[in-house]
Copies of this chain bind each other. A is one copy, B any other.
Amino acid sequence: MTKTVKQIASFIGGKIVGDDQIPIKGITNIEAPVRDFITFAQDEKGLKKLEKTDVACLIVPPNLVSQTKTVIQCEQPKLAWAKLLTEFHPPKKHTAGISPLASVAKTAKIGNNITIGPFVTIADDAEIQDGSVLISQIYIGEKVKIGKNTLLHPGVTIYEDCEIGHNVIIHAGTVIGADGFGYVPTPQGHIKVPQTGNVIIEDDVELGACVTIDCATVGSTRIGRGTKIDNLVQIAHNVIIGPHTVISAQTGISGSSKIGAFVTMGGKVGLGDHVEIGDATIIGAGAGFPSGKKVPGKQIVFGQPARPYDEARKQIAAQLRSAETLEEVRTLKKKVAELEKKLSGAVSH
C-alpha cells in the first residue's frame, strides 16, 4: 500500500510543510525507522533523531518544522499516527459463521454476523450478540452474556453468569469469573466460602493475555468502561475498577479494593484488600499498598509502602545512601564521645 503525503495529510487532517507528492510506502515508529516510511515525532529531540534516518515524512506538532524532511503538522501527532497505523494495517476481517467443530448449546442465543471458531464451547443459555468473534478453544459458561463486536482470542475461559460488554477485546489465556479466594480457617483446615457472584466487564475494555479476574463472593467484580489491563494481572473478588483506567502487567489487586477513573498503574503494583485509589492517580511500578489504605486522587504515588511522589522520592534518595549515613553516624558517635571526654576535661579544668 503506497499513499502520497497529500493523501495522508488529508486523512489525518494535518498541514504539510514540504513536498506533498512523496510516496509513503509504510508506517513505522521512532525505534525502527525504515526508508520511505512515515512516523511521528512528539518534540524537537525526536525530530532531530529521525532527521538522521531514511524515513520519508514525519507527523509533528504544529510548531515543528524540519530542515531536511517533509513534515505534516497536527495537534496530536501520536494519535494521528495510531489512526494511520490502522489505515496501513487494517484489522483482520473474520468470516462470520459457526465452525462445525464448535460445541454450541441448543439453548444458547447466537446473534447475527458472529464468528465462532473450532473447539469453542458455548454452554446453556449463554448469549453472544451481533458481530462478536470467538476465535478458537474458548469456553463460554452457562448464562454468560457477551455484547456486540467483542473479540475473544484463543484459550479464553468465561465462567457462568459473567457479563462482557460491547467492543471488548480479551487476549489469549485470560480467565474471567474463577472463584474468589475465600475460606474460613478452622483448626481442621480451611472451609471454602462459596463464590456466588459474577464478573461484569463493561464496554470498550481490553484485557491482556493470562489475566485472572475472580467472581465476587456476592454481587459483582466490575471492570469499568474503557479500562485497559495488561498481561498477567490479578483482580480479586469484589474489586471495582472505574472507567478509563490503565493497569500494567503483573499488577495484583486484592479483594474488595476500589480503583477510580483514569487511574494509571505501572507494572507489578500490589494492593492489599479494601484499598481505595482516587481518580486520576498515577502509581509507579512496583508500588505496594497495605490493606485498607485510602489514596486521594490526582497525585503520583510510588514506593513500598506507596507514598506521594515528593515524600517517596526523598525517602528513596536517602535510602540509596543508607550505607554512607550509617558510616557518618558511626563517625559522629566517636567524635561526640571524644568531645564529651574533652569537654569533661575542659569543664572540670
State the A residues within 8 Å of B (CB): 27-29, 31-32, 76, 78-79, 82, 85-86, 88-89, 91-92, 99, 101, 103, 117-119, 121, 135-137, 139, 142, 153-155, 157, 159-160, 169, 171-173, 175, 178-179, 181, 183-186, 189-194, 196, 204, 206, 208-210, 212, 214, 216-219, 225-226, 228, 230-232, 234, 236, 238, 243-244, 246, 248-250, 252, 254, 256, 266-268, 270, 272, 285-286, 288, 290, 304-305, 307, 311, 314-323, 325-326, 328-329, 332-333, 335-336, 339-340, 342-343, 345-347, 349
Write out the residue numbers on chain B whose beta carbons fall within 8 Å of the beta carbon of A248.
181, 254
> CB-CB < 8 A to A317: which residues of B?
323
Residues of B within 8 A of A332 (CB): 329, 332-333, 336
Chain B nearest Cβ from A318, distance in angstroms = 4
- Residues of B within 8 Å of A230, CB to CB, are 181, 234
Question: Is the CB–CB distance between A192 and B249 below 8 Å?
Answer: no
A272 to B252, Cβ gap below 8 A? no
B315 x A323 contact (CB < 8 A): yes
Number of copies: 3
Which residues from chain B contact A216 at a C-beta distance below 8 Å? 32
**Which residues of the other chain, B, contact A346 by a CB distance below 8 angstroms?**
343, 346-347
Q: Which residues on B sit within 8 Å (CB–CB) of A32?
A: 216, 218-219, 238
CA distance A343 to B345 in the complex (A): 11
Note all chain B residues with C-beta closer than 8 A to A139.
135-137, 154-155, 172
- Assuming the contacts A249-B236, A288-B285, asked whether A86 and B153 have C-beta atoms less than 8 A apart, the reply is no
- Determine which of B193, B315, B326, B328 lies in contact with A82 in the assembled complex, contact meaning CB atoms within 8 Å: B193
B231 touches A250 (CB 8 A): no
Give the chain B neighbours of A92 by CB distance below 8 A. 142, 160
User: Which of the residues B153, B178, B244, B320 comes within 8 Å of A171, measured between beta carbons?
Assistant: B178
User: In whole angstroms, what is the CA distance A189 to B204 when docked?
Assistant: 10
Q: How far is the CA of A318 from the CA of B324 in the complex (A)?
A: 9
Please report the C-alpha to C-alpha distance between residue A26 and residue B186 in the assembled complex, in whole angstroms.
25
Contacts of A194 in B (CB 8 A): 82, 85-86, 89, 91
A178 touches B340 (CB 8 A): no
- Checking B79, B252, B326 against A321 with a beta-carbon cut-off of 8 angstroms, the contacting residue is B326
Contacts of A137 in B (CB 8 A): 119, 121, 137, 139, 155
Give every chain B residue within 8 A of A160 (Cβ-Cβ). 92
Central interface residue in A118, A172, A181, by most chain B CB within 10 Å: A172
A181 closest partner in B (C-beta) = B230
Residues of B within 8 Å of A155, CB to CB, are: 137, 139, 155, 157, 173, 175
A-B CB contact pairs (8 Å), 11 listed = A78-B193, A79-B184, A82-B191, A121-B136, A153-B159, A157-B172, A178-B231, A183-B246, A234-B249, A250-B250, A252-B268
